[in-house]
Amino acid sequence: MTASHQLSLCIPAYNRPRELERLLESIAQQYTPEWEVVICEDQSPKRGEIAAVVRGFSNRYPRICVRYFENYSNFGYDRNLRELLDRAEGEYCVFMGDDDVLTAGALAQFARGIEGQSVGFLLRAWKSVDAQSGHELEVHRYFPSDRKFAPGQDSIAALFRRAVFISGLVFHRDRARQHHTDRFDGTLLYQLYLVGHLVNSFPAAYISAVVVTRMIGAEHFFGSSGAERVNFSPRNLLPEHSVRFVQGLLRIARAIDEEVCSGVFDMILAELAVYSYPILEIQAERLSKWSFCGYAREIGRLGFHKSAFFWVYFLLLLIFGPRAVGSFLRRMKGLLGSTPVLRGSLGSRR
């Protein structure tokens, strides 16, 4: 890698050769020499097809710096993120899921977001699109305009839940590598541990430009690695999987509270509960009303039951259904231009 490269686009690849090719083509349309592309294939059944896609892409676009690695075993999502941080050589790493794509001008927006700033973490806006029809579903803009965040507790609480979706998240590579740990392998949320540590010590930033398109509806392979099997199952999203996912969120939040910022756990839990609609909606679409009540009870027991917002979302979904409620909320966010800032308190859990 030449000294001109400052940024690494990091892709954990697993079993999606066609989707990976689509992502790479979205990169090719806007690539500049300041970037490198780093791919870590995680010993998937389609490793040969993925390698062929990367070779073909490199042959078509020889000017693009592509570095491809094959893991010696199936590391799983969380460990593969650490592998990418170790393999990358840029000052900053931009993570991209292999089934998502960059929007036009995204690379320039990322470069602008970190230019002249000593940020540890950069958040972005994104949009979701139906993978089958290509229909745009929603624009996810957390704040109406670009923002900067001072290090500390308030910024951790504000950014933690907003970093669950990995694509387009930017981390200072060397600072992130200082916090390597396998304690959270299998949660699918290792990036949140990094957010807690980096945002506690360094400024963070948000760019309101939509730079990533998330393709909704494609099958997932979480649960393929040994570390993930205890929590998840490939191609399935059962209520118990969702409960374990939320438990993982809270486990990492508790670790951040204990290691770097006492008191932030309660703030994170309050944020998660106030914005808990997606956690409820995903199972409301799949379950009978009776089963959905049981699922909500399990989530509530994790601490969400103390939030009035949680129960309002639950009742709206129970009475009107996810299609009607989701449509209404999307229209409201569209009119506002971003997700509204809500406030709620759960009281102390200490």
Tell me what pLDDT residue 5 has. Answer: 63
**Domain boundaries in the chain?**
1-236, 237-350
**SS3 of 295, please?**
helix
Each residue of 163-184: b (16+ CB within 10 Å) or e? bbbbbbbbbbbebbeebeeeeb
Interval 247-271: pLDDT, tens: 999 999 999 999 999 999 999 999 9
Distance between CA atoms of residues 149 and 202, nearest Å:
9
What's the pTM value of the predicted model, to 2 decimals?
0.94
Q: Quick one: tokens of 309?
A: 């917002």
Query: What are 152-197's pLDDT values in tens digits?
Result: 999 999 999 999 999 999 999 999 999 999 999 999 999 999 999 9
Model pLDDT, residue 344: 58
Best CA proximity match to 287, nearest among 231, 230, 243: 243
pLDDT in tens, 227-240: 999 999 998 889 99
Residue ranges of alpha helices (H) inside 16-65 are 17-28, 47-60
Residue 346 pLDDT class (50, 70, 90 cuts): low
Q: Say if residues 199 and 116 touch (Cβ distance below 8 Å).
A: no
Largest CA distance in the chain: 59
* Class level of CATH domain 1-236: alpha beta
pLDDT digits (tens, 9 = 90+) for 129-160: 998 888 999 999 999 999 999 999 999 999 99
Task: Encode pLDDT of 201-219 as tens digits.
Answer: 999 999 999 999 999 887 8
Q: How far is CA 264 from CA 47, 151, 158, 250, in A?
A: 41, 13, 10, 11
Residues 14-61: pLDDT tens digits?
A: 999 999 999 999 999 999 999 999 999 999 999 999 999 999 999 999
Distance CA 14, CA 114 (A): 29
pLDDT classification of 1: cutoffs 50, 70, 90: very low
279 close to 296: Cβ distance less than 8 angstroms: no
Q: What's the mean pLDDT in 92-96?
A: 98
> Which single residue is written with the structure tokens 């400052």?
6
